[in-house]
Structures are given as C-alpha cells and as structure tokens.
C-alpha cells in the first residue's frame, strides 16, 4: 500500500514523516537532516535550488532566494500583512492580475503556490529516495488561523508538486494528534508553538474524535531568532566594553559569534552556565584578540524575559478574551497544554507555561518534529494504517518458571508481541534428583510466591546423576490466541511432559494493574530478597563443590588444610539460612579462598599439570 | 416397479451430486482461505526479513554518523588553529609545533571518517559543498570562488559544514 506523507510546511523550516508499522517515523532529507529550510532559489548559474543548498547561496543572491513564502501564500497583495513583510523581504514582488502576490525569481514571476511547491517537490523526491517507493499523497499542515484562501493556496502548492493532498490539517491539531489527545472524550487543549520566526497560540476543543479550533492568537514576528539576536547583541556589547573592538562590524567574527550563541542557547537548556570560547576572533595593532565569556542561564533569562512575558500575555488573551476574539474561558478550564517549536526547550518557557496553567505541559516528542509526526498520524488514519493493522496482542505480564530458591526466572518478558516462543535449558539442584517440578507463574515480582501461579507439573524419570548434569529443556509457547503451552523434556531420555494454559493473557485489566502496581511498590524489598537468594544459592553451590573436593582429594590432603576447609564449610552452613546476604557473601569468599589451598597443595605434590601449565597465580609465587 | 426403482436412483444420484457440489464449494472456500493466509504469512515473513535488512542499514548509518555532533564541535577547534596560525609569521619558531598539533587532531578525526572539502579559488561555486558568505569584485569570471574564508568538512561523504567562500562578481566600472 503506498504511503501518505505527512508534511509540516513551515515558515523557515519544513519536516516530513510517514507511518511505518503503525508508528510515525520522521524522514531525513537528502542532505541527512530531519528538517529542510523552506527556501528556494535560482542560482547565478541558473540552477533551481531548494532547501539547504538554496540557503547556502542566499547571501550572494538575495534577490533570487525566496523564503518565508508562508507569510504570503493565499494573501491579497493589498493585505496589510503583505505590505508589512514587503518592507523587509529582499526579493521583488508585485500584485498579480487576480489581486494576489507574485514574486520574481530569476527572470520569471512566480505565485507563492509555485514557490512553496518547489519546497514540497524536494521533500517528495527526498522521501521517495529514502523509502524507495513512489509517494503520491500527502497531508499538509497549516496554521490554525489560515483562512480558506490560504488553505486552498497551500493545497494548490501540494498539487503542483505532484501530490494528491488528502487533507489540510491545522498545526495545533497535528501536535495534539501526535500526543494522542484526540482520543479523550471532551477536553480543552492549548497549543503553545514557539518557532524560529513565529509564535502561535491555539485553543482546541476535542470531542467525539473531532478537534475544533476555538481561538487563535500569537505574533507572526516573534520567535527563537529574536532570542539569538538579543544574546548576540549583548555579548558583542560586552566585548566592546572590555576590549574596545566592535565585532558586529566584522562579518566573519559576527558569524562565528552567532553560531556560538546558538550553541550556547541550546546548552543552557540543560546546563546552568556555559563558556563562549572563540580564540582569534579579531585583531588590532597589538596583535590577535580572543573572545572568552561566560553566560549563565540566569543572564540568558534576564535578556529575554520580556519576550517570554509577552508570549504568556498572549496566551492569557487568547484563552480568556471574550468570543470571538478569544476563547472566553478561564485558564483553569484548560485540560492539556502542548509545547511545539524548538524554543520551547528553554526551561524558563516551560516553567512560565506550567505556572500559568498549574499543570505539566506535554513535551515528550521533539518539538521541531511534533507537527510532522501528527501529520503522519493523520495520514495513517486516512490510509487505514492506524485502525486496520492486524492487531497483535502482547503479553501484559512476565511469564516465569520457578528455579532454585523460589526465584521466578523470566521466560517471556512482559510486552512481548505474540505469537512467540522461548526455549531454555535447566538442570537439577541436587544429586540424584529424578524429577523436576515445573512451576509456571505470571507477574513482575522476582520471587515466585509473590506472583500468580498459572500451573505446575512434574517431569520425572530423569536418570540419577550429580546436580547440574541433567538437561531439561523448557519451552514456553504462546500462540496468536494467547494460549500458553509449556513443555519440559529431559534431553537424555527424551521423556516429555506439557501443559496448556488457556487464560494466560486473559487477566482482567484491574488484575494486571494490581500486579504491576505491587511490583513497583515492592521493588526495593524484592531486590534485597533476590540478592539474598542469590547469595544463598551461591553458598550452596560452593559448599557442594568444597565437600566434593575434600572427598575427591582423600588422603592426599594434609590434615590441617582439610580441617580448616571443613571449618569454613561449617561457617557457611551456619549462616546460609540467615537473612543477611552480606555475612553469607563474606563467609562464601572465606571458603572460596581456603578452597584454593586444596588445589595448591595437590599441585605441589605433583598431581597437577606440568609446571608451565600452572595457573597464573601459581607462577607469581 | 422398474420405473420406481429408476426414480430412486435418480434421486440418490441427485443427492450425492448436491453433496459433491457442497464439498467442492467448501473445498474452494478453504482453498481460498488457505491461499489468503499463506499469502499473509509469507508477507509477514518478508516484512520481518526486510525490516531486519533496513534495521541493519539504519544501524550501520547510525554507527557511521553517531560521532557527527562531536566531530562538528571539533571543527571549531580546527578553525581556531587555522586562525591562530594565520597570525604567526612563517619564521616563527612556535609555528611548526602548532601546525603539528593541528595535523594530529585532523589525523584523528580523519580516522573517524572526516574529510576536508576540496575547494579552490577559481572553480565554480557549488552550493552542495560551499556556502557563500559574501562577494568580492574581481577580474575572475563571476560566480567563481574568489576567496576561501573557512574550510569545509564532510563525514563519510556527507557535508558536516560547507566550505565558506566569497564569490567573485563583476567589477563595477
């Protein structure tokens, strides 16, 4: 089935994603990046460029490098917004015959649709190359405040690029979809979208699987770029004060500073202080000059506080202003808050939003990609991926088998997709053990007694042999209907036994939740128990080995060593059943040290291998 | 009598024919189902195999480029070397040592797949490898590289940072 591409066609950058195996996947472009600059150009050598390549030559070709098309698409030339943007956009534009906007690129006039189509075309080609299949359909997102004409124009851009546009989706709705918020019964959601160059607020109302935009607000000329500019200006100013050199006049130095500022800004999202270190930034008569300054998170926040405050004020207006200007509701009536846009990684913004609504905002998905992810989710719904995929069940709880010391040894971990099958070989715990009990349990606790027993059976007829020698192969198999079959087979005799458990996955939801909750509650005490059992098992194994070694050595062993080993064995036995894992471990290591003496003595007596083959520890003596 | 007998046989025949027909239809249906399931199973198998292949490729790519962020940061250090060296006269005795440290750094990064983008004054500007940061008037053909301002680097063939160049433009008269 051909895929539908989800596209976030942004003002400065665009991103794309598809559904794959029921999960959204963000696609990288040809240059290997997850976002693509929404820039198109006709280069000086008359080549048409789109994306990063167009951006790379923008400085020397400003008149023929077209960006921010989203600000013009579907608008009338007489629109005040267009007049405002015309004043700072470096390329030529004029009124088209139909009253719209036309842009000059190279020696031809283009409509904003045609320009946007070139960006979309690049995304299409890159997605096709990445996926190795043709892509003909797309879901494209637009801001919630876009009117019919802007939506139609965006749709046209998609069609020009060769897509069948299945849906024009609101960006905030896409963000809510990405977080699965559309499944709630009835909720009010605020989407706070702080991008590179624009700031959008949307108030959504979800009900019966529909998402309705109740109010929108924001500032089309406020974004993360303003933050960068503030920091750069501040640092350049400080440097001028310190060194008396104005680096903002030096293009190359300024470029280095801007890049360092972007890095520093990102770093201050996790660190509280960072250092901007730019050696040889410039020079004067006295020789080279360096730039070394510390920037703290507190200083950064101080520099941009008014921008954050402005965004918070805009949220308040959008939510509380009376209809139709705003949503006409109280802030406390908002159920969910979603953060979109790279700038929302800044802790101060997250804090401010949290404080305003008194609740934790959704921010788990990469904020640069969340809209594209949501577009892909919508695409998945349209292509039937999300609903119609073959629903494979998972095992809700871990299925285990009881082993020495009542430990629940997991065979099939929880959340494993069924049908599945796991095989493991076990052995006996005692000498001459002729039967094993297979005890099957379900749950997350490490001790079998704390989990739910599903079944037990006994496999007997194992030929008598020392512990650890018999091989019992245990198979856990769950078919597509959730029926668990456990079989055990003695590999020596081929004797087998099995049991079928019908209801292994048919626990009630409450029961599953209870078992999971209990596992979480008891995690630390269970861990202690597990450590203790492990220590006990180790003690038992070593006692067994020690007794055997003493017996095997017989007369060859000097009486004093024999006596001290036996003492240590008694020491281990004495504490083995106690509840203190530390003391068991201590005694075990004492015994283990003593035990080595047996080996040493036997070697010295010449019963060991040739000298050259002696163990490392021997040779050093 | 004879007639009756005949009738009976016909009836019997009809019954078995009907039975035959139903079982054929049943068999046909089962056959269809079998084909459908077999197809679904084969597809699921193929999906898994293909997924594994893609996953291997993805992992290979991931391993190749997992250093990209670190390498990209290290480029600033290489730049600083270049800038520092540019301030030292050829005769400076310390120069050789710094050049060697720079070469050492570059050598390490090269081992991890870093390559220097080959750019030269006079060649046509190529935005796939270069970023234009300005223009200079020169006698050289317009649109060619007039000056290399910063070195470009690629990691396993993918541009991590384009070379920064100035482009020549026609001299104004």
pLDDT in tens, A185-228: 788 999 999 988 899 999 999 877 778 888 999 998 899 999 99
For residue A600, pLDDT over 50 is answered with yes
- Residue A556 banded pLDDT, cuts 50, 70, 90: confident
- SS3 of A586, please? helix
Nearest to B130 among A56, A278, A288 (CB): A56
Which is nearest to A6 in space by CA: A127, A146, A145? A127
Report pLDDT for A231: 95
- Considering chain A, what percentage of its residues have pLDDT values greater than 90? 53
Q: Which residues of B149-170 are buried (b: 16+ CB within 10 A; e: fewer)?
A: ebbbbbbeebbbbbbbbbbbbe
Residue numbers of B between 46 and 75 with CB closer than 8 Å to A: 51, 65
Which is nearest to A482 in space by CA: A401, A388, A394? A394
User: Cα–Cα distance between A92 and A587 in angstroms, integer?
Assistant: 86
Report pLDDT for B169: 86
CA distances from A264 to A274, A282, A298, A327 (A): 6, 20, 13, 37
Beta bridge partners of B57: none
For residue A387, pLDDT over 50 is answered with no
- Considering chain B, what percentage of its residues have pLDDT values greater than 70? 91
CA distances from A57 to A261, A377, A500, A599, B127 (A): 22, 35, 69, 77, 6
User: Cα–Cα distance between A57 and B165 in angstroms, integer?
Assistant: 10
Report pLDDT for A63: 93
Give residue-wise pLDDT tens across range B34-81: 988 888 888 788 878 878 888 888 898 888 888 888 998 899 999 899
Q: Considering only alpha carbons, which residue of chain B is nearest residue A53? A: B127
Q: Considering only alpha carbons, which residue of chain A is nearest residue B40? A: A390
CA B22 to chain A, closest CA, distance in angstroms equals 30
DSSP states along A531-572: HHHHHHHHHHHHHHHHHHHHHHHGGGS-HHHHHHHHHHHHHH
Nearest to A255 among B51, B133, B167 (CB): B133
Nearest to A56 among B65, B127, B142 (CB): B127
User: Cα–Cα distance between B85 and B36 in angstroms, integer?
Assistant: 71
CA A50 to chain B, closest CA, distance in angstroms equals 11
Q: Considering only alpha carbons, which residue of chain A is nearest residue B157? A: A31
**Chain-centre distance of CA A439, in angstroms?**
37
Relative to beta strand A496-501, strand B163-169 is unpaired
Q: Which is the catalytic residue, given A85, A113, A126, A171?
A: A171
Q: Taking CB atoms and an 8 Å cutoff, what residues of chain A touch B162?
A: 56
Mean pLDDT of A353-372: 94
Residue written as tokens 């949220």? A315
User: Cα–Cα distance between B82 and A256 in angstroms, integer?
Assistant: 14
CB A206 within 8 A of CB A177: no
Comparing B171 with A332, the larger pLDDT belongs to A332
Q: Considering only alpha carbons, which residue of chain B is nearest residue A263? A: B73
* Helical ranges in B66-138 per DSSP H: 68-87, 95-111
Q: Which is the catalytic residue, given A193, A385, A477, A490?
A: A193
Strand ranges (E), A443-495: 452-459, 472-478, 484-490
- Residue A393 banded pLDDT, cuts 50, 70, 90: low
DSSP states along A108-170: EEE-HHHHHHHHHHHHHHHHHHHHTS---EEEEEE-TT--HHHHHHHHHHHHHTT-EEEEEEE
Whether B125 sits inside 8 A of A57 (CB atoms) is: yes
Whether B128 sits inside 8 A of A53 (CB atoms) is: yes
Report pLDDT for A201: 95
Q: Average pLDDT over chain A, rounded to whole?
A: 88
User: Cα–Cα distance between A237 and A255 in angstroms, integer?
Assistant: 15
For residue A578, pLDDT over 90 is answered with no
Report pLDDT for A392: 57
CB B116 within 8 A of CB B102: no
- SS3 of A336, please? strand
Comparing B3 with A38, the larger pLDDT belongs to A38
Active-site residue, A193 included: yes
B38: which DSSP letter? H
Token readout for A410 is: 């997991």
Q: Taking CB atoms and an 8 Å cutoff, what residues of chain A touch B125?
A: 44-45, 57, 60
Report pLDDT for A517: 80
Report pLDDT for A390: 46
Question: What phi-psi label fits residue B97: left (phi over 0), alpha (psi between -120 and 50 degrees) or beta?
Answer: alpha
Q: Taking CB atoms and an 8 Å cutoff, what residues of chain A touch B98?
A: none
pTM for the whole thing? 0.71
Give residue-wise pLDDT tens across range B107-123: 999 999 999 999 989 99
Beta bridge partners of A41: A49, A65
CB–CB contacts below 8 A, A to B: 59
For residue A609, pLDDT over 60 is answered with no
Active-site residue, A250 included: no
User: Cα–Cα distance between A560 and A537 in angstroms, integer?
Assistant: 28
Q: Average pLDDT over chain B, rounded to whole?
A: 85
CA distances from A306 to A94, A230, A267, A300, A408 (A): 36, 11, 21, 12, 58
- SS3 of A301, please? helix
Contact of B122 with chain A, judged by CB distance below 8 Å, is answered with no
Q: How many CA atoms lie within 13 A of B65 on its CB side?
A: 15
User: Cα–Cα distance between A82 and A73 in angstroms, integer?
Assistant: 10
CA distances from A137 to A124, A125, A156, A165 (A): 10, 13, 13, 6
- Residue A184 banded pLDDT, cuts 50, 70, 90: low
Q: Considering only alpha carbons, which residue of chain B is nearest residue A276? A: B76
Give residue-wise pLDDT tens across range A462-478: 888 888 889 999 999 98
Give residue-wise pLDDT tens across range A502-543: 765 455 667 777 777 887 888 888 888 888 888 888 888 888
Which is nearest to B109 in space by CA: B84, B81, B148? B81
Whether B124 sits inside 8 A of A45 (CB atoms) is: yes
Token readout for A361 is: 């905002």
**Chain-centre distance of CA A302, in angstroms?**
31
Whether A44 sits inside 8 A of B128 (CB atoms) is: no
Which is nearest to B106 in space by CA: B161, B153, B163? B153
Q: CA dihedral in degrees (B129, B130, B131, B136; nearest 10)?
A: -160
Cβ partners under 8 Å of residue B70, min gap 6? none
User: Cα–Cα distance between B30 and B22 in angstroms, integer?
Assistant: 12
Question: What phi-psi label fits residue A432: left (phi over 0), alpha (psi between -120 and 50 degrees) or beta?
Answer: left
Please provide the distance, in angstroms rounded to a whole number, between the alpha carbons at the two ends of chain A. Answer: 72
CA distances from B18 to A333, B13, B28, B30, B32 (A): 70, 9, 15, 18, 21
**Chain-centre distance of CA A138, in angstroms?**
25
Relative to beta strand B130-137, strand B145-150 is unpaired
Mean pLDDT of A488-500: 90
CB A30 within 8 A of CB A49: no
Token readout for A477 is: 């198999």
Token readout for B111 is: 């081992």
Contact of B140 with chain A, judged by CB distance below 8 Å, is answered with no
Q: Exposure of A255 by Cβ count < 10 A (0-12 exposed, 13-18 middle, 19+ buried)?
A: middle
- Residue A325 banded pLDDT, cuts 50, 70, 90: confident
The residue length of chain A stands at 621
- SS3 of A97, please? coil
Most B-contacting residue of A60, A65, A258 (CB-CB within 10 A), to test interface? A60
Mean pLDDT of A256-280: 92
User: Cα–Cα distance between A98 and A143 in angstroms, integer?
Assistant: 24
Q: Which is the catalytic residue, given A3, A55, A70, A363?
A: A70
CA distances from A256 to A261, A276, A547, B80 (A): 9, 11, 73, 11
- SS3 of B115, please? strand
CA B65 to chain A, closest CA, distance in angstroms equals 10
- SS3 of A447, please? strand
Relative to beta strand B130-137, strand B163-169 is parallel
Give the number of other Cβ atoms within 10 Å of residue A222's Cβ: 20
A180: which DSSP letter? T
Q: Considering only alpha carbons, which residue of chain B is nearest residue A288? A: B87
CB A350 within 8 A of CB A341: no
CA distances from A190 to A48, A170, A175, B128 (A): 40, 13, 10, 41
Active-site residue, A8 included: yes
Active-site residue, A578 included: no
Q: Which is the catalytic residue, given A3, A8, A155, A490?
A: A8
């Amino acid at each position: 089935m051909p895929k539908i591409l989800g596209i976030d066609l942004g003002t400065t950058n665009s991103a794309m994603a598809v559904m794959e195996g029921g999960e959204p996947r963000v696609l990288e472009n040809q240059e290997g990046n997850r976002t693509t600059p929404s820039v198109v150009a006709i280069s000086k050598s008359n080549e048409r460029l789109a994306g990063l390549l167009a951006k790379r030559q923008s400085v020397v070709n400003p008149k023929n490098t077209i960006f921010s098309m989203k600000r013009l698409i579907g608008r009338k030339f007489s629109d005040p917004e267009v007049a405002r943007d015309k004043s700072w956009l470096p390329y030529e534009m004029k009124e088209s015959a139909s009253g719209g906007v036309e842009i000059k690129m190279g020696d031809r006039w283009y409509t904003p649709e045609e320009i946007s189509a070139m960006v979309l075309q690049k995304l299409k080609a890159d997605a096709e190359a990445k996926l190795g299949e043709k892509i003909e359909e797309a879901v494209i997102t637009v801001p919630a405040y876009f009117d019919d004409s802007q939506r139609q124009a965006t749709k046209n851009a998609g069609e020009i690029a060769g897509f069948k546009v299945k849906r024009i989706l609101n960006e905030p709705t896409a963000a809510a979809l990405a977080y699965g918020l559309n499944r709630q019964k009835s909720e009010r959601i605020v989407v706070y979208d702080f991008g590179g160059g624009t700031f959008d607020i949307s108030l959504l109302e979800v009900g019966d699987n529909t998402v309705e935009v109740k109010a929108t607000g924001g500032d089309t000329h406020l974004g993360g770029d303003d933050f960068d500019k503030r920091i750069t200006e501040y640092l350049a100013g400080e440097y001028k004060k310190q060194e008396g050199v104005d680096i903002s006049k030096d293009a190359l130095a300024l470029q280095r500073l801007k890049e360092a500022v972007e890095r520093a800004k990102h770093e201050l999202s996790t660190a509280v202080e960072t250092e901007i270190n730019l050696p040889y930034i410039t020079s004067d008569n006295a020789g080279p000059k360096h730039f070394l300054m510390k920037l703290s998170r507190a200083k950064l926040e101080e520099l941009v506080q008014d921008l954050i405050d402005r965004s918070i004020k805009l949220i308040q207006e959008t939510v509380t202003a009376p209809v139709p200007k705003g949503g006409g509701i109280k802030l406390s009536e908002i159920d969910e808050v979603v953060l979109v846009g790279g700038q929302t990684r800044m802790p101060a913004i997250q804090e401010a939003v949290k404080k305003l609504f008194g609740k934790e905002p959704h921010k788990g998905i990469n904020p640069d990609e969340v809209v594209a992810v949501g577009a892909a989710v919508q695409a998945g719904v349209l292509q039937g991926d999300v609903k119609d995929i073959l629903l494979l069940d998972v095992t809700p709880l871990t299925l285990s088998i009881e082993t020495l010391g009542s430990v629940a040894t997991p065979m099939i971990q929880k959340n494993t997709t069924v049908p599945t099958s796991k095989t493991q070989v076990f052995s006996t715990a005692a000498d001459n053990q002729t039967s094993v009990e297979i005890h099957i349990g379900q749950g997350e606790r490490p001790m079998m007694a704390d989990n739910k027993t599903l079944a037990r059976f006994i496999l007997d007829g194992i030929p008598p042999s020392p512990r650890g020698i018999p091989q019992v192969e245990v198979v856990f198999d769950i078919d597509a209907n959730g029926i668990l079959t456990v079989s055990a087979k003695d590999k020596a005799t081929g004797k087998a036994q099995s049991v079928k458990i019908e209801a292994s996955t048919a626990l009630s939801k409450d029961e599953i939740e209870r078992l999971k909750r209990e596992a979480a509650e008891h995690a630390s005490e269970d861990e202690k128990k597990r450590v203790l059992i492990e220590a006990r098992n180790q003690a038992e194994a070593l006692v067994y080995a020690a007794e055997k070694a003493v017996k095997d050595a017989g007369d060859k062993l000097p009486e004093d060593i024999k006596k001290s080993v036996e003492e240590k064995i008694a020491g281990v036995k004495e504490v083995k059943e106690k509840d203190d894992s530390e003391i068991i471990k201590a005694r075990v290591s004492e015994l283990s040290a003593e035990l080595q003496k047996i080996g040493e003595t036997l070697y010295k007596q010449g019963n060991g291998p040739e000298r050259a083959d002696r163990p490392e520890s021997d040779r050093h003596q | 009598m004879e007639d009756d007998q005949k009738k009976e046989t016909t009836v019997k025949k009809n019954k078995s024919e009907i039975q035959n027909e139903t079982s054929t239809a049943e068999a046909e249906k089962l056959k269809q189902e079998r084909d459908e399931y077999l197809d679904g199973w084969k597809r699921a198998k193929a999906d898994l195999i293909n997924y594994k292949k893609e996953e291997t490729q993805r992992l290979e790519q991931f391993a190749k480029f997992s250093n990209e962020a670190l390498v990209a940061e290290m480029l600033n250090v290489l730049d600083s070397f270049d800038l520092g060296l540019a301030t030292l006269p050829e005769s400076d005795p310390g120069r050789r040592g710094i050049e060697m440290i720079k070469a050492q750094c570059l050598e390490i990064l090269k081992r991890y797949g870093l390559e220097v983008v080959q750019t030269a004054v006079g060649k046509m500007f190529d935005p796939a490898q270069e970023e234009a940061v300005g223009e200079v008037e020169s006698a050289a053909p317009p649109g060619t590289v007039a000056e290399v301002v910063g070195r470009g680097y690629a990691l396993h063939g993918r541009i991590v940072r384009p070379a920064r160049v100035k482009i020549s433009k026609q001299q104004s008269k």
